[in-house]
Amino acid sequence: MRPYGLTEEIVRHLIYNYGSEYAEVLKYISENPDWGQTVPNSSEVVKAEVIHGIREEMAQKLSDVIFRRTDLGSVGHPGDECLKTCASIMAAELGWDKTRRIK
């Protein structure tokens, strides 16, 4: 099964990390199809995981998303594009201004 056209690798990743709750992450893709795309420099982590981290797991800082709510920081620096993408998603979701986003 490949919901929302996600690759088998992404679906396996979601099931491994969220277990039976992986469908909770998928519901965000129905809200915004762009959230089904992977973040830069990751072949598995989708933008919906960032949204899930904010809405369901109360992530408030970029470091919360990178190190605690996703696998993005588990193998070292995830790259500037990844950080910028996650910060932009968080800014839109949490109402951060430009100053807060670049801290």
Per-residue model confidence as pLDDT tens digits over 34-51: 999 999 999 999 999 999
CB 59 within 8 A of CB 67: no
**DSSP 8-state assignment for residue 17:** H
Superfamily, domain 3-102: Alpha-glycerophosphate oxidase, cap domain (1.10.8.870)
The model's confidence at residue 27, banded by pLDDT at 50, 70 and 90, is very high
Q: Whole-angstrom Cα distance, residue 11 to residue 17?
A: 10
pTM: 0.92
Domain ranges of the chain: 3-102
